[in-house]
Every structure is written in C-alpha cells, then in structure tokens.
Amino acid sequence: MKKTIGTLIEMEVRKQMHVNEFADKICCQRNNVYNIFGRSKIDTILLKRISEVLNHNFFQDLADDLSLIDEEGEMARDKAIAQFYKVVPNILREMGKDDTIISGSLPDEPDCPVPDFLLPSYIISFTIGDTFDERFGKNSYLPVELMRNEKGAEVELITNLMHRNRSLNIKLDYKTEEEWREALAFVFELHAQFRIS
C-alpha cells in the first residue's frame, strides 16, 4: 500500500491514542477520521489542527517526502469526476430521467463523509473513490447491501433503520460510457424494485 499523508496520520494516531479520542480532539465524527486516513491530500487548516493535536509536524513530513502526495490518485479522481459530469447527464436525459445533479459536500464541514453527488429526485448518491460502506464504516442503523447484476454493475442499497427508508449509492470511479449506462439502468431498476422515494 502506497504511503500517503492519510496513512502517515493514521500511524501517528494509532501510536498515541484511540481513534475516538482523536476524533473528539479534532472535533469530528469517528467515521470522518477513517476518511482522513484514506486521503492522499488534505486541507492545510485541518492538517494544522491534526499536527497540534498529535504534537507532530506533518508539514515537515510533506516537505521531507513529497511522495506522500499521491498525484496519480488525485489525477485519476479528477478524471473520473470530469467523465461523470460529461457522460451521466446525457445518459439520464436519454433515459427520460431528471438530470439534476447536486454536490453533497458541506462547505462548513469539508471533512463530513456525506456522498459527493446526489440525484435529488431519486435519492441516488455517488461517492468518489469509496463505496458508501467504506466511507461510513459499519453502522447498525445504516446497513449496506451490495447489489450486483449479471453484467457486473454494482449498486449499494442503504437502509436507514431509524427513519425506515432506503437509498441507493454508486461508487464514482472511472467508468466507460457503456459502464455508466449499465450502472444507471441497474440503479433505476433497483429504485423501482425497492420503491425508493
């Protein structure tokens, strides 16, 4: 596994304290901490806070070892997002579906692990690089079931036991136009099957 700034932070946290304690000290939820551990880039204000909490200068680590910044991973992520915006709205229009896509990021909480994009009319979300399950971790109130069709398209079915509703998520990684077409056809098939609204 390639060492990134996230893995370096994880190693230091595990040396010093429990993940829950670290989450409290940087004022975020435990699941967000795992999101930080998986990162190849990080906001400088957050990195400053983490450096202070752990009494470790991660800026110096970055200066000493620039390979901690995973440019290839970031370029692949950017390529996947650009392709998503280019292809998905067209496929949605071809399918006769509302092509409104909204960003799921919260401006005042950049580390909150919400899905990255959402089709609000259908409660269908997209998580960049991670599955919903990977991003949020195991949660007894939000069980996630991976659904796969015969052509290999994968969709996560999330059941919110607290609110008694369901949603669907697709991992946003680079897909060909045909793979996106198959994934979207499958997600709408599941949407109808599970009567998600």
Exposed, middle or buried, 178 (CB in 10 Å: 0-12/13-18/19+)?
A: exposed
Length of the chain (residues): 197
24 lies in which domain range?
5-68
CB 35 within 8 A of CB 42: no
CB 42 within 8 A of CB 6: yes
Q: Coil, strand or helix: which one is 79?
A: helix
Grouped pLDDT means (10 residues each) for the chain, 197 residues? 84 93 87 81 87 94 80 74 92 96 64 77 89 81 93 94 92 93 97 88
The per-residue pLDDT for range 119-173, each reduced to its tens digit, is: 999 999 998 878 888 877 777 888 999 999 999 999 999 999 988 899 999 999 9
Do 158 and 80 share a structural domain? yes
Structural domains of the chain, count = 2
Boundary (domain end) residue, out of 45, 68, 91: 68
The pLDDT, as a whole number, for residue 15 is 96
Do 108 and 79 share a structural domain? yes
Do 155 and 121 share a structural domain? yes
Boundary (domain end) residue, out of 30, 47, 68: 68
Of 191, 182, 155, nearest to 91 by C-alpha is 182
Please report which residue ranges of the chain form alpha helices under DSSP H.
5-16, 19-25, 30-37, 44-54, 58-64, 71-94, 132-136, 177-193
Do 142 and 56 share a structural domain? no
Boundary (domain end) residue, out of 21, 36, 68: 68
Do 184 and 103 share a structural domain? yes
Cβ neighbours for 85, distance < 8 A, ≥ 6 positions apart: 101
d(CA 108, CA 70): 25
- How many Cα atoms sit within 13 Å of 25 on the Cβ side? 16
pTM given for the model: 0.67
Rounded (10°) angle between helices 30-37 and 5-16: 130
